[in-house]
Amino acid sequence: MTMMRRTRVHASNQSRFGCFFFSFLFVLFCAMLDRTSASLARSEIESLVSLMNSLNRTGWYSDLPRAKVENACEWPEIGCECEGGDGLCKISFVSFYGMDLTGELPRDGLPNMLESVKIFDVGNNRLRGAVTNAFVRSFPNLKSFKLGVNNLEGSIPYELGNLKWLEEIDLDGGFTERQIYYDDGFPKAKKNKYGVPGSHFGNQFTGQIPESFRFLQRLKVLNIHRNLLSGPISYNALAYLQSLEYLDLSGNRDLSGQIPAAAIGRLRNIKELFLDDCTFSGPIPLGMSSAEKLEVIVLEGNKLSGRVNPRAFPINITTLDLHDNFFSGPIPETLSIFKRLEVLLLHGNMFLGEVPQSLRRLPVLKTVSLAFNRNLCGPIPFFLPNAPKEAIEEECDKPTEPCKLYPARIETNLGKPCDCARRDQSCFSSASSIVLSLPTGASAEKCCEEGFSCEPTSGFGEKSCVPCMNANERCDGTVYGRPNCCKAGLICDGDGVCKGCSQTYQQCGGEYWTGAECCTSGNSCVFVDRYYSQCRPSSSFTIGDGTTSELRPPISFNQQQLYRDPTSSFTCQEKWQQCGGQFWTGPNRCCDANDFCFVQDEYYAQCRPKIPACASNYGQCGGRLWQKNAGSSLNSCCDPSYYCFTQDEYYSQCRPRYERNGLPCARTYEQCGGSLGPNGPRCCANSGDYCFVQDAYYAQCRPKMFS
């Protein structure tokens, strides 16, 4: 037994030694194989050496403590693929970003094609010269081509359009001379990077976008910011980029003509569009609205003019930047259709008249700018949100420049009454356009009174105030000379048609309300709270039993209280006035004795009446946020002859017991269903009854104990 045990132990040790020995050999073999696999193929080495010599002739790559070129796969700037059976590798990416290179890209291309390179990045250097078609052909399978922030020049190589796998092109021109030398926020280490003032800074690609780009079906990012592109943008160069998500052509001062709306509208995946600081002119054409994924549109700093037609933009935009152009006319009421809009920058234009109340319907609007529109007038739009702290810090950080974000009203007449033209009066002064040296298409208009619009009335450029559109008429501005507005109370809906007035007991107003703000004949729109107004019978009404009852007077509400200057001195706020919230400068949470300060959110609080024991007839008796912070429990009781009717999650109302949904209910033994007209009762007035269905043609209210 002992000898056998020893033998087994000895055998076990031999086995362990053998495993260790073979494991060591395997690791050594793998290490040798890995080292061998890190060696570049000879053709790859020749092309890499040629590239590096051209980028900088000072032997910069050999001055650093790194492996030899044969083992460049070990460099952090080089990536390799080592899948061949010969143990040699091919370069998969080249990244010489920010290495202060001062040479050129090889004009005659590389000695051998680098077919495995997917990423080529030499951005943020000082490379000069042109980018040739021969050089581009050296990377037939490229996915990312980054040359941004250099000193490159010449035309954009046509051969880029033949790189069928290309997903990103970055030719960013870099920073302006003012940014480099005068902006305190610009890094000091880079202030002299692009030469002295007078020399060129950054890339200066000239000409136009090659039409060969139409073949780049996989291209997602195209950045040619701040170069020297010129002329109108070719439709064929953009319209076929079906994968494009990001397009930046801003800062090309010689790009002119109209905004290429038709081409942009074909880009089904575009999300961000930057065409600012160019020389585009004229009105914004229709066409972009087809790009349903487009969220950010920046067109500031051009020579765009005419009316702003919201139908020109896609419905899902979150940022619309139109500042520093020559747009004229009133701010469109139909901007309220963009329910995802967060940023609206309109400063530095020629907008006129009152700020439309419809903007209060934008539920997520955060940043607004209205400054430097001298003809804006009327009530101060306190319903607009104050710009958030982050936006103010970013936009208003220069002490020598005024802050243009709301609530700034620099160079406007907001808070002063509008002196608008009346019906059929002239609203256009050609002399003013000449004096102001406005571009073609821009005009010095005068506002029209409510319900009218300034439109052409002759072929000689004359304009006068004409009535806005009636109910069920088109209001999208697609017909020349027809207003893109609706008469007072109507609203231009999502289909571009003026929506008619609300019926009895239907909603007719309130924050975020998108429907009509008027009522049919015999009704009046009664304010209930910030979020709800309702059409109610003007004088009397008939309930289910045929009796007539007088309607209690509606809640008194002075609309002008919304525009009272919050800096004026008075002890407490009156009913329905603001009493608190972030950025609020008036009395804080102070209301009259019969009111309480209702906190809507962190930005808004309002003085509202204290809640009585039971709601009044036709008064509110429930709903989301109702009686919040009132200091008492929710009370949904009504007068015994009334019941609490739930209209939606935000509003419930005390209505006569003998009606449901505005219709009278049937009494005991009266018909309550079956083959009836559309106005027949479908409920029982007596709570002790139920609606007995006899057949398809007849149902009757019967006592619950009836057999």
Which of 93-97, 153-157, 298-302, 541-545 is least confident?
541-545
60 pLDDT band, cuts 50/70/90, is low
What is the reported pLDDT for 10? 35
Q: Measuring CA to CA, which residue among 345, 343, 410, 415 is closest to residue 373? A: 410
pLDDT (tens digit per residue) in 360-381: 888 889 999 999 999 999 999 8
What is the reported pLDDT for 372? 94
- Within a domain: residue 164? no
640 and 695 part of one domain:
no
Q: How far is CA 436 from CA 38, 350, 443, 464, in A?
A: 69, 11, 9, 21
592 and 641 part of one domain:
yes
- Within a domain: residue 681? yes
Q: Into how many domains does the chain fold? A: 2
- Within a domain: residue 521? yes
- Within a domain: residue 551? yes
Which of 165-174, 206-215, 386-395, 579-588 is least confident?
579-588
613 and 698 part of one domain:
no
How many other β-carbons are positioned within 10 Å of the β-carbon of residue 326?
A: 21
Report the distance separating Cα 182 and Cα 3, nearest Å: 91
656 and 695 part of one domain:
no
- Within a domain: residue 689? yes
120 pLDDT band, cuts 50/70/90, is very high
Mean local confidence (pLDDT), 632-650: 64
516 and 537 part of one domain:
yes
Q: Please return the burial class of 65, using the count of CB atoms within 10 Å of its CB with bins 0-12, 13-18 and 19+.
A: exposed
| Position with higher pLDDT, 471 vs 278 | 278
8 pLDDT band, cuts 50/70/90, is very low
For the cut 60, the answer to whether the pLDDT of residue 222 exceeds it is yes
642 and 703 part of one domain:
no
**Alpha carbons within 13 A on the beta-carbon side of 106:** 21
The residue assigned the tokens 């696999």 is: 37
- Within a domain: residue 447? no
pTM for the whole structure: 0.66
Radius of gyration of the chain (CA): 36
642 and 691 part of one domain:
no
Q: How far is CA 330 from CA 270, 299, 354, 393, 445, in A?
A: 29, 19, 7, 29, 9
380 alpha carbon, distance to own chain's centre: 24
Strands 350-353 and 326-330: parallel
The CA-based angle 296-297-298, given to 5 degrees, is 120
643 and 576 part of one domain:
yes
Report the distance separating Cα 289 and Cα 687, nearest Å: 54
| Position with higher pLDDT, 439 vs 581 | 581
What is the reported pLDDT for 197? 41
531 and 651 part of one domain:
yes
Q: Measuring CA to CA, which residue among 551, 539, 686 is closest to residue 619? A: 551
566 and 704 part of one domain:
no
Residue 521 lies in domain: 507-664
432 pLDDT band, cuts 50/70/90, is very low
556 and 528 part of one domain:
yes
For the cut 60, the answer to whether the pLDDT of residue 233 exceeds it is yes
